[in-house]
Structure 1
């Protein structure tokens, strides 16, 4: 007999993997909220999962390990994509500001430059 908390853990992990595999760019905020909710549920379940484990539960846990590794790698990829998008947006903002005001970065050292030739 496998505990309900372990089966719930597996179900939530599978839901997380499905969400991460089918993620769409335009619905990223919704996906982040769903991931956060599911990770909080997993965290709440973690307190109810403790030793001693039966032999069936140990086998079930061994079957969960590949899922956990895949989830970890998918979450890292998701976080990396978000970070790269943020850095791209920051670069665009800086370049847009430089385009709008090209003389904002010119250092003024007190010298006078005559514009007449």
Structure 2
């Protein structure tokens, strides 16, 4: 007999994979909120999954390993995408500022300063 907490863990993991598959670039904030809520549910289930495990639970757990690997890859991909978007926004901010004030980065070495007033 497999514990309910293990079944719930598998269901939540599958739900998380579905959420990550059906994401929309324009609605990333909603996706992040959903993923956080689902990860909190998994975190609450974790303490109830403790040894000793029956033989059936061990086999079931081995079946969960590919799901966990797939989930880890998808979460890393989302993190990479978010980091890329943040760096793109920072680059755009710098380039817009340089466009608005083109002389802020001018090097003043070797210029003549008139000391007479």
* Structure-1 separation of matches of 2:96 and 2:51: 57
Aligned to 1:82: 82
* Structure-2 separation of matches of 1:93 and 1:23: 26
* Structure-2 separation of matches of 1:16 and 1:104: 47
Aligned to 2:97: 97
Cα offset, 1:113, TM superposition: 6.8
Question: What is the aligned length?
Answer: 114
TM-score (norm 1): 0.92
Gaps of 5+ in 2: none
* Structure-2 separation of matches of 1:8 and 1:113: 75
* Structure-1 separation of matches of 2:88 and 2:113: 36
Cα offset, 1:110, TM superposition: 7.7
Aligned to 1:34: 34
* Structure-2 separation of matches of 1:13 and 1:30: 18
Runs (4+) of structure 1 exceeding 6 A deviation are none
Q: Secondary structure of 2:43's partner?
A: helix
Structure 1 residues 58-106: Cα deviation after superposition (integer angstroms, max 9, x where no partner): 1110100000000000000010000001101111111111011001111
Q: CA RMSD in A?
A: 1.6
Aligned to 1:11: 11
Gaps of 5+ in 1: none
